[in-house]
Amino acid sequence: MQEQIRKFLDFLTVEQGYSENTIAAYRNDLSQFARFLAGMEPPITSWAEVKKDNIVNYILHLKEREYTSSTVARKVAAIKSFFHFLLAEGIIEDDPTATLDSPKVKKRLPRALSHDLVNRLLAEAGKHSTPKGQRDKALLELLYATGMRVSELVLLNIDDVNLASANVRCFGKGAKERIIPIYDRAVQALEEYLQKGRPRLMKDPNEKALFLNHRGKRLTRQGLWLIIKHYAEEVGMGSEVTPHTLRHSFATHMLSGGAGLREVQKLLGHANISTTQVYTHVNSERLREVYDESHPRAK
């Protein structure tokens, strides 16, 4: 059964251009499902043996183990995609997921920071003139300037940044390239890091990564998250900040500042505008707050 999983992952990598992180998630989800099937009585040892009831029982198993609804939905989506592939490849004759309903997930609105909180976070990073401090200031400014995903930012190379034109090139999901403009303060922070901070962090002159860790290697997603968490805790808002908080804040602030939905969609690298539309709901909530605070009859 693992052989079919491997072929599917190869297909996603080569044909669909999925990222390493997405491939890893599919691998974990499908391997977990395969272990569940192997542990049944009698065990299921072929994908052709899988029935819809087996998948329903697996969903119940996940819920009993208190997986979140979004995690269960993701795992079911992976299983559906896998069986669609097996059917297309002629490995199975019937798709057991054909009439399987996807678990419903309550959409949570993304958490965006206020302008003041963003400024406090960026100011805290700017207090330190060490190489790491210069790096941290540059990467936080860049996250807020571009709305990039954390996974996109850590993959940036030096030649992806054009300070003269004040823009950065990044590769999103499906290796799709987009060019994002950046504001002057982000340019200045990057200039200082590239001129002073990065040379002192660098161990290998051939290293192309833009952001380096203390070993002179490419900063990882986990390393970046620890940096964000550190500064968030320093300004007393540790629980309010996640790896995507600055991305959410970027989108919300752009829309509230007058940017169009299509423009924000392009900047964020969303394939579908419906994904971007969630930020209009965030603005609606903020509008309600302002109304309640400001209207004399609402007080």
Predicted confidence (pLDDT) per residue in 85-103, tens digit: 999 989 888 899 888 887 7
Please identify which of the residues 75, 137, 198, 247 carries the catalytic annotation. Answer: 247
For range 100-124, the mean pLDDT: 79
pLDDT at 254: 85
Evaluate whether 154 touches 211 at the Cβ level (below 8 Å). Answer: yes
Out of 3.20.20.70, 1.10.1760.20, 3.30.450.20, 1.10.443.10, the CATH code matching 115-292 is 1.10.443.10
For range 242-247, the mean pLDDT: 81
Please identify which of the residues 58, 144, 231, 279 carries the catalytic annotation. Answer: 279
Left if phi > 0, otherwise alpha if psi is -120 to 50, otherwise beta: which for 251?
alpha
pLDDT digits (tens, 9 = 90+) for 209-226: 999 999 999 999 889 988
End-to-end CA distance of the chain: 63
For range 250-256, the mean pLDDT: 85
- ω into 42 cis (within 30 of 0): yes
pLDDT at 246: 86
Stretch(es) of the chain classified as CATH 1.10.443.10: 115-292
pLDDT digits (tens, 9 = 90+) for 164-174: 999 999 887 76
pLDDT at 293: 66
State both tokens at 273.
């505008």
For range 193-205, the mean pLDDT: 95
pLDDT digits (tens, 9 = 90+) for 39-57: 888 898 889 999 999 999 9
Which residues, 6+ apart, have CB-to-CB distance to 139 below 8 Å?
153, 211, 219, 224, 227
In order, the DSSP letters of 87-155 are: HHTTS-SS-TTTTPPPPP-PPPPPP---HHHHHHHHHHHTT--SHHHHHHHHHHHHHHHH---HHHHTT
Q: Provide the β-strand partners of residue 181.
A: 167
Percent of the chain with pLDDT over 90: 36
Most confident of 15-29, 78-92, 242-256: 78-92
State both tokens at 159.
């030649």
Query: pTM to 2 decimals?
Result: 0.62
State both tokens at 89.
């490849």
Nearest to 156 by CA among 145, 144, 141, 172: 172
Nearest to 37 by CA among 82, 70, 103: 82
Active site residue 80: no
Stretch(es) of the chain classified as CATH 1.10.150.130: 2-88
Res 33 pLDDT > 60: yes
Please identify which of the residues 173, 185, 218, 266 carries the catalytic annotation. Answer: 173
Active site residue 291: no
Active site residue 149: yes
Mean pLDDT of the chain: 85
Please identify which of the residues 80, 132, 244, 286 carries the catalytic annotation. Answer: 244
Percent of the chain with pLDDT over 70: 90
pLDDT at 219: 93
For domain 2-88, give the CATH number: 1.10.150.130
Comparison of pLDDT for 155 and 20, the residue scoring more: 155
pLDDT at 79: 93
Please identify which of the residues 75, 137, 149, 253 carries the catalytic annotation. Answer: 149
Res 287 pLDDT > 60: no
Res 110 pLDDT > 80: no
Reported as a pLDDT band with limits 50, 70 and 90, residue 289 is low
pLDDT at 109: 60
What distance in Å separates the CA atoms of residue 73 and residue 102, rounded to the nearest whole number? 7
Reported as a pLDDT band with limits 50, 70 and 90, residue 137 is very high
Active site residue 270: yes
